[in-house]
């Protein structure tokens, strides 16, 4: 369950104050696959970052999995992100110095877990996205679609309850984008993972349970 | 957890071979050069065998005899003011002229008469080592530098005897034809450095000497110990020893009971020289003995400067400045490399934070990477330094002086590099670990 109440976010530069989100209310029940759409600069990514605890709201409260996360300090937020959240980015953000399986293992490094166990879970996650044969490759040996599948494996390896995807198909052609959507849909149905996805693509949005539209920092539907 | 950081660090370093190579090269080469410079400095200034007590020693780097002569005398009327009335009182003689001087070492007889029994001296030795002697071997000529000295020489200098013994006071008193040779001479002349060489004869010039001992090469560069063959001074022609000239081929080293007493000994020697009766000297009227500690002597020799204080400043200020720069430049380079590397990995840091790393784990990660680099670079530097020092020693690149490897100095430099590595990696990492994840991943 994601519960945003009266969330506002403003960015202040030297001279002007920009309002990215205005008194936004949104609640996402467990197991929902929600998509967020809107023109560029409407605050979609800001909203996602606030849900992912990598940005703080200027006003309002965020409750994730029943926990009042807005009041958490640095290391508690880190732990919460590690256990409850998984991120998928438009430009993948894999670490090029690490092999595919090491990239997937990354979230588990910050848990108390043995190396063998980590490796096993990482290979499971790769299996789920159909890339177990690429485990020892490096990111720059992969296609865009494969990179995004690795990123998904990384997002799900720690079994988070919530996955936050920021335009996961934005850098991919429609065929690869379709594959990614299939994987996300299966995650949602098989594991019951809550997924919040920002997208520009109506077709992708139609594949989700519910669509929320933003415009100028306000919810329009 | 530590194992995780370690394996991660190794993985990253393996994936960035160029960066790793440059860093390792920087660290290991800097260490090697620093070790070499320190070893050479240590051989020059350090307290190493056979001059372990070098800080207690007083040397006589120079004896100067001076004659001031006056070829013109002006007679000047001098005026005295008295009770407000002026009157001619007397005449004064003002003399002008020049100066002759002669510098060099001293005669045995002079040392024997004047510089024995100084206060606070634990032991002292007179020696003459500015000569050479030839030995002929299978049609080859070996030229060796000689050192004629007394039995106390082996007390003042703690030579490392590989085989045999130093010659004794009895041997000196009896003018026995015995000799202590260096391992280099043993190898060259007898073809071996073994106990068998002891008791064998070596022909030096027109005389034959029995080998009493073989000494190891010194870890110290100093002209008081750099002989090849050491013989009792009594084997020199007695007429030469008894010559009552002041100047001669001999030199002296005094070892104080304690380091604090060296200044007193130096003063006493200067006093003896000032009050020495020069009436026996036909050519000169004033005697000046320069007594100095090892560092002063070294500085004066290198800088060709008679004023010992001045010489020390002239030598050490540029030397220390240069050394500091030498250490600073590669370290700044390492910092630069490390800093830019951390900034380059901004998005990696952001990703790690997004997936649950807190600031501390980010810091640890960079700390480990730097530590792994420093340790590997340190080990390579250690190997390189050892190889280089061994190469220099094996090929006599520095004459008879041997370089020693100082583990203590190595650890100091390694720590220095580690500290700089940490600072250079940690400070930017600390800043980066606080950066906004959302901004970095945009």
For chain B, the structural domain boundaries read 2-48+314-440, 108-303
3-state helix/strand/coil string of A7-22: EEEEEECCCCEEEEEE
Contact A97 B11 (CB under 8 A): yes
If contacts are CB pairs under 8 Å, which of residues 312-371 in chain B contact chain A?
347-348, 350-361
Of A45, A81, A102, the CB nearest to B355: A81
Domain of residue A25 covers: 2-219
Q: Which ranges of B243-358 would DSSP assign to H, the alpha helix? A: 262-274, 294-303, 308-344, 346-354
User: In this predicted structure, which of A29-33, B5-9, B229-233, B260-264 has the lowest mean pLDDT?
Assistant: B5-9
Closest-approach residue (CA) in chain B for A55: B438
Q: Do A106 and B347 touch (CB under 8 A)?
A: no
* B438/A81 touch (CB, cutoff 8 Å), yes or no: no
Contact call for residues B366 and B374 (beta carbons, < 8 A): no
Across the interface, of A46, A54, A109, the residue whose CB is closest to B354 is A54
CA distance B19 to chain A (A): 12
Please tell me which of the candidates B347, B352, B360 has its beta carbon nearest to residue A106: B352
Q: How many domains does the structure of chain A reveal?
A: 1
Could you report the per-residue pLDDT of B292-339, keeping only the tens digit for each? 998 888 888 777 777 778 888 888 888 889 888 877 887 788 788 888
pLDDT digits (tens, 9 = 90+) for B37-85: 888 888 888 888 899 999 999 999 888 888 888 777 777 776 666 666 6
A79, A97, A158: residue with CB nearest B16: A97
What is chain A's alpha carbon radius of gyration, rounded to the nearest angstrom?
Answer: 17
Mean pLDDT of chain B: 86
Residue of A nearest to B15 (CA): A97
Task: Return all residues near B129 (Cβ < 8 A) that are at least 6 apart.
Answer: B145, B146, B147, B148, B149, B223, B224, B226, B227, B251
pLDDT at B82: 66
User: What is the reported pLDDT for A150?
Assistant: 95
**Mean pLDDT throughout B126-138?**
90
The span from the CA of B285 to the CA of B101, in Å, is 10
Residues contacting residue B428 through CB under 8 Å, at least 6 positions apart:
B338, B339, B342, B343
Distances (CA, A) of B92 to A154, B78, B83, B148: 106, 6, 22, 52
Q: Which of B220, B299, B172 is nearest to B54 (CA)?
A: B220
To the nearest whole angstrom, how far is the Cα of A167 from the nearest Cα of chain B? Answer: 12
- DSSP result, B175-204: T--EEEEEHHHIIIIIS--SGGGTT-EEEE
| Token pair recorded at residue B138 | 């299978």
Mean pLDDT in consecutive groups of 10 residues from the start of chain A, 221 residues: 91 82 92 92 89 90 87 86 93 91 93 91 93 93 93 94 93 89 92 93 91 88 76
Cβ–Cβ gap A106/B351 under 8 Å: yes
Residues 155-214 of A with CB under 8 A from B: 158
**Nearest chain B Cα distance for residue A179, angstroms:** 24
Q: Which residues of A touch B358 (CB under 8 A)?
A: 74-75, 78-79, 110
pLDDT band at B148 (very low <50, low <70, confident <90, very high): very high
Q: Which of residues 37-96 of A touch B (CB under 8 A)?
A: 45-46, 49, 52, 54-55, 74-75, 78-79, 81-83, 86-87, 89, 93-96
Residues 113-172 of B with CB under 8 A from A: none
pLDDT for B420 equals: 73
Q: What is the CATH number of the domain that holds A142?
A: 3.40.50.300
* Complex confidence, ipTM: 0.92
pLDDT tens by residue, B391-414: 988 887 777 678 887 777 788 777
Q: Are B436 and A55 a contacting pair at CB < 8 A? A: yes
Query: Of A75-84, B180-189, B255-264, B412-421, which gets the smallest average pLDDT?
Result: B412-421
Alpha-carbon gap, residue B264 to B121, rounded angstroms: 10
């Amino acid at each position: 369950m994601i519960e945003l109440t009266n969330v506002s976010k403003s960015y202040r530069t030297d001279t002007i104050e920009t309002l990215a989100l205005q008194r936004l209310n949104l609640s996402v029940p467990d197991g929902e696959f929600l998509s967020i759409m809107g023109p560029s600069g409407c605050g979609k990514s800001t909203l996602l970052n606030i849900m992912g605890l990598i940005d703080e709201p200027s006003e309002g409260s965020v409750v994730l999995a029943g926990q009042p996360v807005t009041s958490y300090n640095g290391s508690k937020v880190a732990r919460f992100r590690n256990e409850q959240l998984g991120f998928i980015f438009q430009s993948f953000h894999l670490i090029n110095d690490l092999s595919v399986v090491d990239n997937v293992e990354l979230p588990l490094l910050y848990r108390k877990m043995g190396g063998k166990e980590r490796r096993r879970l990482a290979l499971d996650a790769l299996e789920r996205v159909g890339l177990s044969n690429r485990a020892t490759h490096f990111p720059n040996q992969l296609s865009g679609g494969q990179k995004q599948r690795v990123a998904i494996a990384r997002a799900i390896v720690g079994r988070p309850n919530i996955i936050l995807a920021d335009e996961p198909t934005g850098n991919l052609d429609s065929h690869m984008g379709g594959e990614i959507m299939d994987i996300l849909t299966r995650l949602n149905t098989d594991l019951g993972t809550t997924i919040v996805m920002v997208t520009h693509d109506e077709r992708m949005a139609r594949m989700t349970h519910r669509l929320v539209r933003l415009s100028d920092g306000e919810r329009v539907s | 957890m530590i194992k995780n950081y370690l394996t991660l660090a190794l993985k990253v370093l393996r994936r960035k071979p160029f960066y790793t190579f440059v860093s390792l090269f920087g660290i290991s080469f800097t260490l090697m050069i620093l070790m070499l410079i320190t070893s050479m400095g240590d051989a020059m200034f350090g307290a190493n065998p056979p001059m372990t007590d070098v800080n207690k020693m007083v040397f006589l780097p120079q004896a100067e005899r001076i004659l001031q002569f006056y070829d013109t005398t002006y007679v000047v009327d001098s005026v005295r003011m008295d009770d407000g009335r002026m009157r001619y009182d007397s005449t004064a003689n003002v003399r002008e002229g020049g100066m002759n001087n002669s510098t060099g070492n001293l005669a045995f007889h002079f040392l024997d008469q004047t510089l024995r029994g100084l206060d606070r001296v634990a032991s002292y030795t007179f020696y003459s080592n500015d000569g050479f002697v030839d030995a002929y071997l299978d049609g080859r000529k070996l030229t060796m530098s000689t050192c004629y000295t007394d039995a106390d020489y082996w007390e003042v200098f703690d030579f490392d005897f590989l085989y045999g013994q130093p010659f004794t006071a009895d041997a000196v008193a009896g003018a026995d034809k015995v000799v202590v040779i260096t391992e280099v001479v043993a190898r060259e002349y007898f073809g071996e450095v073994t106990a068998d060489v002891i008791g064998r004869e070596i022909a030096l010039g027109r005389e034959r000497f029995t080998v009493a001992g073989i000494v190891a090469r010194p870890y110290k560069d100093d002209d008081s110990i750099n002989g090849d063959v050491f013989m009792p001074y009594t084997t020199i022609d007695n007429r030469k020893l008894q010559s009552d000239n002041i100047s001669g081929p001999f030199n002296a080293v005094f070892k104080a009971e304690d380091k604090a007493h060296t200044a007193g000994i130096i003063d006493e020697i200067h006093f003896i020289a000032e009050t020495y009766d020069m009436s026996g000297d036909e050519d000169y009227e004033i005697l000046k003995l320069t007594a100095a500690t090892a560092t002063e002597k070294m500085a004066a020799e290198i800088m060709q400067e008679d004023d010992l204080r001045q010489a020390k400043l002239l030598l050490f200020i540029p030397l220390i400045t240069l050394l500091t720069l030498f250490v600073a430049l590669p370290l700044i380079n390492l910092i630069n490399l490390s800093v830019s590397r951390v900034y380059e990995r901004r998005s990696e840091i952001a990703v790690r934070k997004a997936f649950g790393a807190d600031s501390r784990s980010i810091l640890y990660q960079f700390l480990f990477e730097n530590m792994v680099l420093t340790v590997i670079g340190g080990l390579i530097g250690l190997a390189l330094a050892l190889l280089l020092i061994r190469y220099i020693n094996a090929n006599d690149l520095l004459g008879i002086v041997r370089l020693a490897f100082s583990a203590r100095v190595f650890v100091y430099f390694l720590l220095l590099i580690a500290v700089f590595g940490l600072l250079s990696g940690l400070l930017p990492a600390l800043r980066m670990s606080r950066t906004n994840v959302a901004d970095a991943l945009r």
